[in-house]
Structure 1
Amino acid sequence: MALGIGIPICVQCGTASNPCRCKVVGPTVGFLAFAVAAVVEWPVGALVYCFRHGKGRQIMAHPATKVYPSVINAIPI
């Protein structure tokens, strides 16, 4: 039995940014951008957290607070 690994599909309904009121491309690309940023920034943030707690938390929160929202808002579909 083979298990297929696919690309995650994210759907956001109830948005007013397009006539269909659903977004698929933006949230999916946003999730992929979030994952790439998190792989890079979380280890760096953890290292910085050892010396400067506040700055380490900001670095680790960056993918969720800046990357994901900016990508999903930039793509209206």
Structure 2
Amino acid sequence: MGEINNVLISTVKSPLVINAARFALKLFPNAIFHVVSVIRKLRFRFLYIPHYSRIMERLAEEALRDIEKVLF
């Protein structure tokens, strides 16, 4: 099996994801990590209000910061 060069982490605000990132960093110390934050959307557009959008964006930014602290 070849060497792992790239690792993608799809993050949500979760301690499990942070622990998985720590473990992946130990397993693949030379890999390039790509972190993607996921924002959940509602099924019905009429319920998708700007306030909900701001909350989800803030949570996604916090999740990215948590993962970046682990990786850097």
TM-score normalised by length of structure 2: 0.36
Larger relative contact order (Cα-Cα within 8 Å, sequence gap ≥ 6): 2
Higher CA-based Rg: 1
TM-score normalised by length of structure 1: 0.35
